[in-house]
Amino acid sequence: MNILGPEVSFVDLVDHGILEKQKKDREEFLKGKKSYFPLRPSSAGHCSRKLALELEEYLGIRYHNKPELKPNIVRLFELGHSVERAVIDTLIKNSGFDIRYRQQVVDMFRLETGELIEGSIDLVLMKGPYKCVADVKSKKMNWSAGFKSSWDELLDDFSSFESLCKISDTGYYADDLQFLIDELDNDYMIDNLYQLNLYANTKFCKDRDINFCSLIYYAKNTSEMFELRFRPSEEIFKQTERKYNEVAKIVKEGKVDEMECEFPIGTMRHSFCDCHKMRPYLPDDPSTYYFGTLPPKKWPTDSNRLKKFQDIEKSYNAFKSLQKEAVQLEKEEQKIIQILLDEKKQKVRFADGAIYEAKFLKTKNKFELRRAKL
């Protein structure tokens, strides 16, 4: 067949371009073109070993294995940035609050090694006595066994947190940030808390009497939103400052190889921490420690190992063909129903004498064609 257009799909071209850009960016980095200082607000919740390895690279001490991101992951990050900008626009139009200091660069502290730690505030919400430094985060939604989605499961978990007070169905408040961090138990959301807490404790925010923080999460699947509000903690701010100073000191003294991942072994954060990919130090893949904590997996049995192999394969092939017929059956059924709805008729008698009715089923929230009597 003579296919019009390029020899590969446009998606292949996009994927190739994304991978090539990562390679080019990496090559420029190795030549000395630095992008950003690794000890930044968004990294406050990361493992100290990962930060130390990144700082070694930034300073040109030595370089580590940095696996490329898959193209779909890069696109996911880009989509997240677009979503977050859209949510901020929604807040500007509909919240009733003044939105100020968007992308305002603020100073946090200077390391003992001389580097200035700074970052950019997403936005500040102001109205009367309320002054809040805020950040918007997009969040994916998965299906959940016991709930409609992982989003509903998370909000249900929040209802049981002793550290949280429920503001409404879409908002929770923590008066003790450390207590909330402890209850989240190494969840990735902790990174957002550390980042926003750094902004709130800057001189810039304190001089303007900005006294609380708000993380606004947006579900990419459904456009649902919820707010996680909290009182800033100066002690956690100081913890982050001490952590960054310690990382810089270890790198300066050349003791990075003595470090281990600071997340508890066997947890998801430990198993998938980038520090293992950049410079492995464990004898085994760290993910094995995490998967070892999960319930035993039920592995499938190959059909050719069953005694009735031929029988089950025959039935399976028939099953597959009937599935295709079932899809076509449903399409034709919906066509009939649509004709009845368009002509405002509920029942129809076909040429062969059979009578059918378009019946709405509340449990399924759809019309189905049912055999009927006169």
Burial class (CB in 10 A: 0-12, 13-18, 19+), 334: middle
How far apart (Å, rounded) are the C-alpha atoms in residues 89 and 96? 12
CATH architecture under which domain 31-259 falls? Alpha-Beta Complex (3.90)
How far apart (Å, rounded) are the C-alpha atoms in residues 97 and 300? 56
Strand-pair partners of 99: 125
pLDDT tens over the chain, length 374 residues: 788 888 899 999 999 999 999 999 888 888 888 778 999 999 999 999 999 999 999 999 999 988 888 999 999 889 888 988 999 999 999 999 999 999 999 999 999 999 999 999 999 999 999 999 999 998 887 776 666 788 888 888 898 899 999 999 999 999 999 999 999 988 899 999 999 999 999 999 999 999 999 999 999 888 899 999 999 999 999 999 999 999 999 999 999 999 999 998 888 899 889 999 999 998 888 887 777 766 666 667 888 888 888 888 889 888 888 887 887 888 888 888 888 888 888 888 888 888 888 888 777 777 888 888 77
Q: Residue 44: which residues within 8 A CB-CB, separation 6 or more?
A: 191, 194, 195, 198, 240, 243
Contact 168, 159 (CB under 8 A): no
Contact 139, 218 (CB under 8 A): yes
Q: How far apart are the first and last CA of the chain?
A: 54
The CATH 3.90.320.10 portion of the chain extends over 31-259
Contact 21, 28 (CB under 8 A): no
Strand-pair partners of 126: 98, 131
Q: Which pLDDT score is estimated for 280? A: 92
Burial class (CB in 10 A: 0-12, 13-18, 19+), 185: exposed
Q: Count CB neighbours of 75 within 10 A.
A: 14
